[in-house]
Chain A
Amino acid sequence: MNSSKIVDVEKFVDSDIFTLIGLSGLSDEEKSALKAKMLQTIENRVNLRLLEELEQKQLLEAVSDAADEEAAVKFFSEHAIPVEAIIIEEAVRYKAELKTAADMVSMGLTIKDDDNPEG
């Protein structure tokens, strides 16, 4: 097999993200820490999108803190907000972003420290 850069989509979907982005050599602890960050990122993005959906549909005021989990799920469903689809999309999007970033890092891209929003 040549060194094609073409990624089979199914392999892309199925592959371990750490392998995909070349971080398979990390220790389990490191992976775990990064996983948490990945989770946080996706969760934030999903929440953001859902918020925007709610806002766009002028449903923010309708959000009730009293709603239980089932009611919340129903709420989104009733208002045609595709929560699951958004989650999946954001997850795939994130994976693709990391893959893209990994490719570019392999080309020599450097993430500048002074752009660190945490910093």
Chain B
Amino acid sequence: MNGVHDMGGMQGLGRIEPEPEGHAFHAVWEGRVHAMSLASPTRSNIDAGRHQRELIPGPEYLGMSYYEKWFRSLSDRLVEQGLVTPAELAGGALQTGAPKATPRLLAADVEPALNRRGSYVRETAAPAQFKPGDAVRARNIHPEGHTRLPRYVRGRSGVILRMNGAHVFPDSNAHGRGEDPRPLYTVRFTARELWGAAANPHDSVSLDLWEPYLERG
């Protein structure tokens, strides 16, 4: 979707505020939101979680901090899945009825779960259409659902730098339509192709793009 989250290339969004190393969280509640989001039974897949945050209306999205967005999307999912009622969320008091559940993630399982070597690469029978060195163009498409093809490269030409195997396809996975693995390429665009003649002739931007985002350039 063409949401405000897709902000690559925008200008005038404020100053970058550098900060020193050393703080994972800037308030106690941020850590609790992060932890609840990882431990929550609503956790489905990474793509659905991202899409949930993209669905926050644009004006609100731009005014929220990172963990306020996480808190909002966690709350929304808990209500959508019937695990918490809107009244409970508003009042904080438990409404009777549901039996006590068993937590999905227990303390002893946290470190193994967080350190597990997962993978988004999947076997697929379909041969890859492109190879390193091929000229491609990012398609000029505007899906209404989740996509990882930013607007600033749509319609632009680049070169395949690397083939990364078939990866879970977010445009499908985010919507519960299955992983639908597709070849994932690293594609390099020159800064001049993206931003015009004023850009430095040496510079480039590379993105990881799935095959359905690309056509022969």
Say whether A associates with B. no
